[in-house]
Amino acid sequence: MTDTTFPIPAAAGRGPRRLAGRFPWLMAPAAVFYVVFFGWPLLQMLWSSIWSDGFTFAGYAEFFSEPVYWWVLGYTMVIGVVTLVLTLGIGYPVAYWLVGLNKTWTVVLMAFVLIPFWSSGLVRTYAWLVILGRQGLVNTTLISFGWIDEPMPFLGTHTAVLVGLTYYLLPYMILCLFSVMNNIDRNLMLAARNLGASPLRAFFAIFVPLTKPGVFAGSFLVFMLAVGMYITPALLGGPDQTTLPLVIALQINEALDWTLAAALSMILLVVSVAIQIFANRYVDFDKMWGGAR
């Protein structure tokens, strides 16, 4: 969240930060946890990408000399971006609709959004196998209506991977958007209407810019999870849907080239963080949505 042109997040963060200043030891458990289970393994991964009985850059060298890795990295990023766009496109109207309902309905329908969190991602991805497979729900339905003669190959397509990822990550996006939208003062929309803005203009000039923090948070989360996802592309994709996590798993489990696996992991990490920073800094969302200022 580097590109915050207005100080809402800063104001929101003031309380906890002040608390942390007064009681620094309150942060100790979290800090220890992060260092032991996140910082240390990350350093180890970095280390094993450059050390194998002596300093070596073989892993990075292989990545840069083999175009196939570039393709896989590029494909992974494209999948991440498209998933982000799909979840944002579907999630934004849903979240907007949810905050407009009365409290009871918001709670009930929010529960429906959250229910998928309670079942394992593996189960939910297998469900898509049942739906999209050769003998799956979609194919048998289409055949029984006589619309097609042969089962269509849904699995092993880009579409299948994107459907699976979008389905899996949509709740994250909705949650991020909902929490931000829910905190927008309704009087702001009334004020905009009163001052001469049509409902549509009020929406684009006031509401949309104020949801920017939620859009950034949701996009960041969805993109990061999408490019790091293993199960979905592994089950729903084919050879053409190979993403970087699949290659990393291959190196670890079958090729046993841990140096290369570690190097690829570091590259995935650096590239996806870089893309996020770039997007936050250079994409002017106001201009994209046209008309905020």
Backbone angles phi, psi at 198, to 5 degrees: -65, 165
Backbone angles phi, psi at 83, to 5 degrees: -60, -45
231 with 216: CB under 8 angstroms?
no
What is the nearest approach in angstroms of other proteins to the Cβ of residue 177?
A: 16
Rounded (10°) angle between helices 67-100 and 103-114: 160
What is the nearest approach in angstroms of other proteins to the Cβ of residue 5?
A: 7
Looking at 195, 253, 254, 288, which residue binds other proteins (CB under 8 A)?
Answer: 195
Q: Which stretch binds other proteins (CB under 8 A): 33-41, 71-79, 150-158, 182-190?
A: 182-190
CA–CA separation, 204 and 180 (whole Å):
16
What is the nearest approach in angstroms of other proteins to the Cβ of residue 92?
A: 17
What is the nearest approach in angstroms of other proteins to the Cβ of residue 270?
A: 32
**Ordered alpha helix ranges (H), 229-284:** 231-236, 244-250, 258-282
What is the nearest approach in angstroms of other proteins to the Cβ of residue 291?
A: 10
Check residue 1 for interaction with other proteins (CB under 8 A).
Answer: no
Count of residues in contact with other proteins, rule CB under 8 A: 27
Check residue 198 for interaction with other proteins (CB under 8 A).
Answer: yes
Check residue 190 for interaction with other proteins (CB under 8 A).
Answer: yes
Backbone angles phi, psi at 134, to 5 degrees: -60, -45
Check residue 11 for interaction with other proteins (CB under 8 A).
Answer: yes
Looking at 50, 109, 142, 197, which residue binds other proteins (CB under 8 A)?
Answer: 197
Site string for other proteins, 200-229 (x = CB under 8 A): -xx--xx--xx-x-----------------
Strands, E, within 103-144: which ranges? none
Check residue 169 for interaction with other proteins (CB under 8 A).
Answer: no
CA–CA separation, 241 and 247 (whole Å):
11
Which parts of 31-90 interact with other proteins (CB under 8 A)?
Answer: none
Q: What is the DSSP string of 179-235?
A: HHHHTS-HHHHHHHHHTT--HHHHIIIIIHHHTHHHHHHHHHHHHHHHHH--HHHHH
Query: Which residues in this chain contact other proteins in the complex, by CB under 8 A?
Result: 5-8, 11, 185, 187-188, 190-199, 201-202, 205-206, 209-210, 212, 292-293
